[in-house]
């Protein structure tokens, strides 16, 4: 399998980027406008959060979706065992943990949103006319006014003997949104599945961003763009340390129609939240004083 490493500054980048999404479902992007120093600072900010007891003051809100999700809550669709990870759903309008500095997080969010918009433009320009005609509105317009774009800082703790047998850091799954952007994580482990069923572990480069297609793009394009299956494997024993990662979900506006049946982005999001176990009440964590 040939995995495209796309130089963002190259004149052929838009065409090659889209072709790689069609061929494999993902792209490794280099020389992009996201500052490595900002990404590293964001990791420092959220490491402090995950290692604090104050994180339980910001448990995920069932109505809005924003906030902290503890270990072993989310599961991949159709999987019974929950993933071995904790994370935070950070929205521009959401609660802001007061005990950490979020200045770099704000900067990274804005930069990834701008980059995501550019990548959607590349896709729109290089998508065949008959596929574009399937869309309920131009692709780039789908994120205009969206309040669901979200940054997810993630902590995968070391694997311990008391964790459920067979559980993994992140079971194979597809994302809900249009595109997902992954700035380089602190450790290896992410694997992506190509259109031929082969698993690929991208190289860990501090200055790269991995981009993959997600369910909403697959749905609105009639399957022309395939939602990328990916996972995070448990580490070998000699590398059994914490792994931190960031995922930016570029999400369609809630009232965007994704299919010919009138299925909206909001409806799809709510259905998927139930499938992956994120609709549960987390108050027990607060009451039990975790």
pLDDT band at 258 (very low <50, low <70, confident <90, very high): very high
First to last CA, the chain: 45
Cα 85 to Cα 189, 200, 278, distances in angstroms: 13, 21, 13
* Domain extent at residue 279: 5-287
Dump pLDDT digits (tens) for 87-103.
999 999 999 999 999 99
Dump pLDDT digits (tens) for 200-257.
898 888 899 999 999 999 999 999 999 999 999 999 988 999 999 999 999 999 999 9
- CA 102-103-106 angle, to 5 degrees, is 85
Is 14's pLDDT higher than 90?
yes
**Which pLDDT belongs to residue 38?**
97
Alpha-carbon distance 19 to 24, whole Å? 9
Residue owning tokens 């003051």: 57
Average pLDDT of the chain?
93
- Tally the domains of the chain: 1
Q: CATH code at 56?
A: 2.60.120.330
Alpha-carbon distance 180 to 247, whole Å? 7
Is 290's pLDDT higher than 50?
no
pLDDT band at 29 (very low <50, low <70, confident <90, very high): very high
Query: Percent of the chain at pLDDT above 70?
Result: 98
Higher per-residue confidence, 112 vs 285? 112
pLDDT band at 191 (very low <50, low <70, confident <90, very high): very high
**Which pLDDT belongs to residue 189?**
94
Question: HEC string of the chain?
Answer: CCCCEEECCCCCHHHHHHHHHHHCCEEEEECCCCCHHHHHHHHHHHHHHHCCHHHHHHECCCCCCCEEECCCCCCCCCCCCCCCCEEEEECCCCCCCCCCCCHHHHHHHHHHHHHHHHHHHHHHHCCCHHHHCCCCCCHHHHHCCCCCCEEEEEEECCCCCCCCCCCCCEEEECCCCCEEEEECCCCCCEEEECCCCCEECCCCCCCCEEEEECHHHHHHCCCCCCCCCEEECCCCHHHCCCEEEEEEEECCCCCCECCCCCCEHHHHHHHHHHHCCCCCCCHHHHHCCC
**Which pLDDT belongs to residue 2?**
63
- Residue (of 39, 278, 43, 28) closest to 153 by Cα position: 43
Instruction: Tell me the pairing of strands 26-30 and 86-89.
Output: unpaired
Is 289's pLDDT higher than 80?
no
Mean pLDDT, range 272-285, rounded to an integer: 82
Dump pLDDT digits (tens) for 120-178.
999 999 999 999 999 999 999 999 999 999 999 999 999 998 888 889 999 999 999 99
What pTM value is reported for the model?
0.94
């Amino acid at each position: 399998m040939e995995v495209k490493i796309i130089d963002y500054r190259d004149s052929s980048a838009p065409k090659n980027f889209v072709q790689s999404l069609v061929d494999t479902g993902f792209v490794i992007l280099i020389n992009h406008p996201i500052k490595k120093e900002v990404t590293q600072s964001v990791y420092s900010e959220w490491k402090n959060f995950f290692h604090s007891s104050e994180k339980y003051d910001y448990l995920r809100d069932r109505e809005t979706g924003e906030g902290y999700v503890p270990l072993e809550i989310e599961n991949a669709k159709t999987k019974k065992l929950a993933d071995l990870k904790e994370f935070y759903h950070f929205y521009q309008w959401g609660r802001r943990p007061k005990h950490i500095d979020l200045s770099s997080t704000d900067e990274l969010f804005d930069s990834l949103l701008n980059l995501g918009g550019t990548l959607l433009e590349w896709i729109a320009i290089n998508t065949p006319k008959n596929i574009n005609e399937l869309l309920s509105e131009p692709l780039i317009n789908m994120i205009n006014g969206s309040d669901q774009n979200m940054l997810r800082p993630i902590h995968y703790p070391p694997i311990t003997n008391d964790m459920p047998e067979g559980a993994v850091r992140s079971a194979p799954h597809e994302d809900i949104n249009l595109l997902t952007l992954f700035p380089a994580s602190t450790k290896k482990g992410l694997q992506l599945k190509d259109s031929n069923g082969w698993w690929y572990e991208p190289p860990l480069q501090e200055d790269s961003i991995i981009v993959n297609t997600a369910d909403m793009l697959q749905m609105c394009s009639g399957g022309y763009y395939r939602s990328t299956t990916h996972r995070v494997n448990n580490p070998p024993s000699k590398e059994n340390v914490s792994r931190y990662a960031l995922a930016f979900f570029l999400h369609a506006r809630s009232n965007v129609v994704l299919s010919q049946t009138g299925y909206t982005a909001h409806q799809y999001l709510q259905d998927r939240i139930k499938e992956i176990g994120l609709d549960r009440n987390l108050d027990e964590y607060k009451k039990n004083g975790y």
